[in-house]
Amino acid sequence: MFDSDLVQPFFLILIPVFYLVGAITTAVFPSQSHTSGGTWAFGFAFASAIVSSIGGWWWPGTATWLNLAPLAQVMVLLVTLLGLILARFAKQYLEGEPGQSRFMIWLHLTLTSVALITTTNHLLIFLGSWIAISTSLHQLLMFYPERPRAALAAHKKFIFARLAELCLIAAFTLLYASYDTLFISQILTMAAEATNLPPEAKIAALLMAVAALLKCAQLPFHGWLIQVVEAPTPVSALLHAGVVNLGGFLMILMAPLISQVSSAQWLLLVIAGPTAVFASLVMMTRISIKVRLAWSTCAQMGWMLVECALGLYELALLHLVAHSAYKAHAFLNAGNTVESTLKKRLVAISNPGWREVLPAAFLALILSVASILVSNSSGPAQVVSWVVPGIALTILLSEMFAVKGGVAFMIRAVVLGAAFWTVYWVQKTASYLLLTPPDNHASLLAISFTGLLLTMLIIGYFLVRYRRHSPLGIRFHRFLFAAAYLDEWATRLTLKIWPVKLPNVVQPRSVVPIAPPARSKESV
């Protein structure tokens, strides 16, 4: 007899099973990893994710050990799609490499753990998957163990990952002591219904916030994320698109608990906020495409955690999905990005004046106010969620107006801006309907602090973009280019606490002295 309640859980369980069987198959038959046989598991996992999502829509299932919420479905679709794309790319990218089979095995195992962590409803499975992701990713980062920067980045990430895991172990222990259950849905239900959380639960929320900050490579623990560009391009794409954002996923998953602990929210705000501003500006000073993308990831993770701190969990989910898709494409398309960037540098930057800024700001203001009224936004944080894209739209349109004038071009730019806003509104609304975040409003002080961060970002952008050669701009650019030497200090402290022998850049070779030529009698 057909039981529709089992459709969604069954295909959800198949996803990590396919990845695991794929890893075993690649280990037993390594030669198959050079053909289509090495990527079959990724296609079946993605197909299972699609069927599970459709089954969840038509036949909502029930499973105690699985997370069948829309958040899990969105994440598993994202992860399996990225896995399929990365596997197909890596198949040709690593063609002929002696470690290709080893790479595919660890890629299978990494995605197995990611699939488990996004679908489980049990604290111990979540914790075990979190640790397994870090362990598997470490092997991928050390794909070229002879590269010193790759070895140093992997060593620093290894230490910071252990710290995050210790925080998570302590947090989950406190949650179990507070609610006497290991099932995440039951813990969140009791936390949402409680008028006052127990002290152990508040400490657990604070520890999970620390774990999220470490996972998302926030200052001053960011250096490893910049240096892992030494790893193969598929590893960078996997890390930036599907692993580093798990800290944000943890905050979104635990939203009913995090939203009631102001100390955890402020911790996210005061660390992730300055990180987002600083990394956004440092990114503008970088020449290497991969390094620029790495700083961009650091900044975007910061903004995502700020959104969680303000209670904008639906916006954080949208940010997570959009960033994953963008970073996967950007890293896998890095070769073409180099060419397009070089072409952009040949175009002179036109500083927008008031004639360009005012109409752009007017259009952004109309769209922002209309969106606030139509969406019936409540609370100052929701207002900020519409003001921020308005600022971005103002900058975009003003720079477009400054490059080329004419009524036809301005109309085309306005249509483009309206299309951008419509897409943002639809996606944000859909994320809210999928997630239904807790109704907790950020304080006025938190909103003011966020406004200060945005003001600093706009001023810094103006200096780097338009006043690069002014005396203040030169000093500011030099400061950003050095990234305040934060990673150098963190690296020294890391190597002092836990020393490691790094491989030599150039292997020393024995030098055989050449004897001078014998002198002939004629020369004497």
Q: Assess if residue 520 is contained within a domain.
A: no
Q: Assess if residue 444 is contained within a domain.
A: yes
DSSP assignment, residue 66?
B
DSSP assignment, residue 61?
-
Structural domain tally of the chain?
A: 2
Residues in Cβ contact with 150 at an 8 Å cutoff, skipping those fewer than 6 apart: 141, 142, 143, 144, 227, 228, 230, 231
Least confident of 112-116, 128-132, 445-449, 478-482: 478-482
Q: What angle do CA 284, 285, 288 make, to 5 degrees?
A: 95
CA-based R_g, the chain, Å: 25
How many Cα atoms sit within 13 Å of 474 on the Cβ side? 3
CA distance 277 to 458: 9
Q: Assess if residue 159 is contained within a domain.
A: no
Q: Assess if residue 411 is contained within a domain.
A: yes
Q: Assess if residue 387 is contained within a domain.
A: yes
- Identify the residue whose tokens are 């002879």: 146
What's the confidence (pLDDT) of residue 37?
47
**Considering 121, 138, 156, which residue would you say is the last residue of a domain?**
121
Q: Read off the pLDDT of each residue in 138-144 and give the average, rounded to a whole number.
A: 84
Domain hosting 90: range is 1-121
Comparing CA positions, the residue from 93, 114, 86 lying closest to residue 34 is 93
What's the confidence (pLDDT) of residue 241?
84
Q: Assess if residue 14 is contained within a domain.
A: yes
Q: Assess if residue 358 is contained within a domain.
A: yes
Model confidence, pTM: 0.88
Place 524 in a pLDDT band, splitting at 50, 70 and 90.
very low
CA distance 226 to 295: 7
End-to-end CA distance of the chain: 108
- For 44-74, how does the pLDDT look when each residue is reduced to its tens digit (9 = 90+)? 999 999 988 887 666 666 778 888 888 889 9
Percent of the chain with pLDDT over 90: 35
**Considering 121, 140, 155, which residue would you say is the last residue of a domain?**
121
Q: Assess if residue 171 is contained within a domain.
A: no
**Considering 94, 121, 148, which residue would you say is the last residue of a domain?**
121
More confident residue, 190 or 33: 190
